[in-house]
Amino acid sequence: MKRSNDRARERLLLFALRLIFTLFLPLFLTILHTALTQLANKLPGEMSSDVSMVSDDEQPLGAISSTNGTAKSIINGNGHLKVEPADSAMSEDDSPPLSTYSKATQSRKPNGIIKSEASSEDDDDVPLASSPAKPTKSATRSKPAAQSRKRGRPSKHVQSSDEEEEVPLASSPAKQTKSAAIRMPGASKATTKQVNGNGVVKSESDGESAAPLAKRKRASTGKTKAPPKKKVKMEDSEDEDDAPAPVKKPRKSKAKVKAESEAEASSGDEKPKKAKGKKAALKKSKDESGSPEKPKRKGKAKEEADEEEVYRWWEAQQANGDGEEKWQTLEHNGVIFPPPYEPLPSNVKMKYKGKSVDLPPEAEEVAGFYAAMIETDHAQDSTFNKNFFDDWLKVLKEYPPRNNVKITSFESCDFRPMYEHFEAEKAKKKALSTAEKKELKKQKDAVEEKYVTCVLDGRKEKVGNFRVEPPGLFRGRGDHPKKGALKFRVRPEDITINIGEGIPVPVPNMSGNWKQVVHDKTVTWLANWVENVNGNYKYVFLAAGSSLKGQSDMTKFEKARELKNHVDRIRQDYNADLRSKVMADRQRATTMYFIDRLALRAGNEKGEDEADTVGCCSLRCEHVTLEAPNFIIFDFLGKDSIRYYNRVSVEPQVFKNIRYFKENKEDSDNLFDRVNTSLLNKHLASYMKGLTAKVFRTYNASITFQQQLDENTPANASVQEKLNAYNQANRMVAILCNHQRSAPKTHEQSMGKMRDKLRSFKYDRMKLRHVLFSLDSKYKKKKLYADDESDLDDDWIEEHEDSLKKKEIERTEKKFAKDNEKLVAEGGKPHKDSVLQEKIEAVEADFNKLAKERGTQKATLKRERPVDKIEEAIQKLDDKIKTFKLQMDDREAGKEVALGTSKINYLDPRITAAWCKIHDVPIEKIFSKTLLVKFPWAMEVQDGWKF
């Protein structure tokens, strides 16, 4: 009996303890949560430093579990601390992932699965500031607080999955990223989708880190391989993400999901924001039908574009400077060499003094280089011919003709048979069907596929010029002394490969070994070699849209923009030095005046075997003419042998200096004999780090462009008028930088076509006017319709209508043939030729009617239309005519100006992007697809940005 009473008392005591624990524990946790939240808000930086558990690598804030096993406290991405009850705590042997807890919690299942409990309405995905890394086991407990004070940047909110998902422990990254597994329809596994610190969206599982290698700790050796990829269809995504094999996970009941979501919503975190746009639509469709509706695809190109990762380097980190490491790991397949020479058919021979010459392949190949060009301007140039023949004779000496013909005179050589063969081969290729051309392109792409991309710091990047230039004849620019010289075939023994240490060295696609293999992380080239004509280095770089090229461009324009802060002081100093008693200082100040005001290139010394092109520092007395009172005439060959001619007024002191510098000198003497480019750039660098004459040129181009756009862009105007203003500003920069070109040979022809097209618009307008006159004669008195269209005479109208008639008959015949093919394919009988004849006769009848209407100011339409619709159509034609005239004016004005050079190299692309936003002009009308790929960082410029 006593034992029974003791047991009853024990049970009663246990029940009382449980009741007290149940009643008072939530109150205690609430008080503790409030206190810790206030402390976290007051000292977010210190709290993150003291509380977060990090591995050896720098880690952001994560989750920590309390030591008593009854509760755990969590610091989310906003620096808020919250406490969860004991049922979600982990044992000391379990190491929870240091992942982002932004409006979400994670708990441990008995089977070792981490459960992600997220609110159903999260913010849109936002790129994080840091990338994930793997945690070591129990790192969150064993490491003392004193050893874990490396601070990580707190992450922004990242949207979680719409469902409650479970993530394998091994797949959770140590850094602060958002991770959520998504169940596949009919699949037994799941993947995790992450937005890492670089803004790259990736899918991962089984412990593979999704972050690019570039964003991991710099101290690492960088020998990690990129995770294997597998296409998996994601339910909540409109594209297909590359992801490893998914892991099996159980699905939670809807009731439990709802209960936990409500409990979490009241736990003290910030109120979740509603999902917007496409994600909200997907969520809504899922709520209604149980699974999200899959958006429709927009073609194969869209799918391929969706599958490509976009590395937002401009958000991830700042560009590296010269001499610093540009990458950690680099893997590529080298370069692709041109195919070997294929000898010509035995019946195709060049002739010497009327006799066929049997050349060995080595000599025949060089002869073919010249034969292919005999109808070009190059073959009419004596320097080109001399250099070719001299180099060919050297080849003939080593590989003489098989039939012992002695070739000594260039004039006696006849390359016409070879030329005709090449032209016939071109015609054959041109005559190939579309399917055959596509097949050839497909084969070529398959051969080059592995050379197109490389793996830089764990991510794919496109390679630029991966093809080695084939042998040929050097053309040069302008009056180059070496034009026509033979360019040798480049072999593997000529090429140095730059690749990551420990990476397998690529095998050349022709016999031979690389000259050298280096592992230089401070340069961005993948391969280089020295060409034989001028002894210049040739490089293989990444493509224009790559991260390294983008960083280089952005650094260049930021450097030019920084010059704004120093340019006033520089100008003040060189204006003072224009009167300096030290001759070297006075000459330097004068060159700086020209570089600043005229955007001249600095100019380098040239050898005798190089083209005689000059810049500011290398001007000779013959290049400068003085004209009183203060005009200077420049006349010299600049870069690429483009003539620079300019008559400018200058400051009186500058005029006086040039006259003084020319005294007692010959025309061939240097004008600035005490200044060179190195001394000038060294002086400029004393004002600003990295400042050179080239930076001045970029600055002057961009600032001039910005000023021209601000001053001359019309506010209330059509898109074409704004585009004309943009192109005019671009032309002003091109003129400043001397970006000239010869008018295209087809310019007049294309302008003639444009004039005919403009007349066709006017013809259409005239016919609509005449329709109005036929309907009501009062329209003849209205000023808007009374005047006849200019430059439409009867002869042109007759010719135009005949042309329209021929096109309409051709269209009718093609449609008839296509319809017959369709009928035969469906098992039917084709239409008889009489049907086609009837249709042609109907077309001829329509145009005979037009012929009768000429000169009557009356016309009818095939289908009747209301008067207001006709008036509307005339108004549209008026607008079209106005726009087309503007296009013609723009093309005529730019026929001798190269607008592309400044747009690619000298104009900050952010100026264009900001201008397009302000004036509602589609940037696609200005930037080609290539430029949009080259300058992705500039497309996100803030509103109202100025250079």
Backbone angles phi, psi at 631, to 5 degrees: -105, 140
Q: Assess contact for 372 and 378: CB atoms under 8 A.
A: no
Q: Assess contact for 52 and 60: CB atoms under 8 A.
A: yes
Encode 765-795: b = buried (16+ Cβ within 10 Å), e = exposed.
bbebbbbbbbbeeebeeeeebeeeeeebeee
Q: Is 168 helix (H, G, I), strand (E, B) or coil?
A: strand
User: In whole angstroms, what is the distance from residue 427 CA to residue 780 CA?
Assistant: 56
Encode 604-636: b = buried (16+ Cβ within 10 Å), e = exposed.
eeeeeeebebbbbbbbbbebbeeeeeeebebeb
Q: What is the CA radius of gyration of the chain?
A: 38
Does 906 qualify as catalytic in the annotation? yes
| Residue 890 burial (C-beta neighbours within 10 Å; 0-12, 13-18, 19+) | middle
Helix axes 416-430, 361-371, angle to 10 degrees: 70
The beta strand positions in 184-267, using DSSP E, are 190-195, 201-204, 231-233, 240-242
Closest CA to 357 of 417, 436, 432: 417
The sheet carrying 63-65 orders its strands as: 63-65, 72-75, 81-84
- Bridge pairing between strands 643-649 and 631-637: antiparallel
User: In whole angstroms, what is the distance from residue 234 CA to residue 663 CA?
Assistant: 79
Q: Is 236 helix (H, G, I), strand (E, B) or coil?
A: coil
Catalytic residue selected from 311, 726, 779, 906 = 906
Give the C-alpha distances (Å, rounded to integers) separating 591 from 170, 453, 584. Answer: 65, 44, 11
Q: Assess contact for 466 and 336: CB atoms under 8 A.
A: yes
- Residue 20 token pair: 């007290």
User: In whole angstroms, what is the distance from residue 101 CA to residue 167 CA?
Assistant: 14
The half-sphere exposure of 221 on its side-chain side, counting CA atoms within 13 A, is: 6
Determine the number of helices (DSSP H) and then strands (DSSP E) in the chain: 26, 26
| Residue 134 burial (C-beta neighbours within 10 Å; 0-12, 13-18, 19+) | middle
Return the residue matching tokens 């009850």: 85
Encode 95-117: b = buried (16+ Cβ within 10 Å), e = exposed.
bbbbbbbbbbbbbbeeeebbbbb
* Residue 916 CB neighbours (<10 A): 20
Q: Assess contact for 155 and 176: CB atoms under 8 A.
A: yes
Q: Assess contact for 156 and 77: CB atoms under 8 A.
A: yes
- Bridge pairing between strands 496-498 and 516-518: parallel
529, β-bridge pairs: 538
Q: Is 83 helix (H, G, I), strand (E, B) or coil?
A: strand
351, β-bridge pairs: 356, 414
The half-sphere exposure of 5 on its side-chain side, counting CA atoms within 13 A, is: 2
Amino acid symbol at 722: K
| Residue 333 burial (C-beta neighbours within 10 Å; 0-12, 13-18, 19+) | buried
- For residue 447, give the H/E element and its range: helix 434-452
User: In whole angstroms, what is the distance from residue 264 CA to residue 506 CA?
Assistant: 54
Give the catalytic positions in this structure: 906
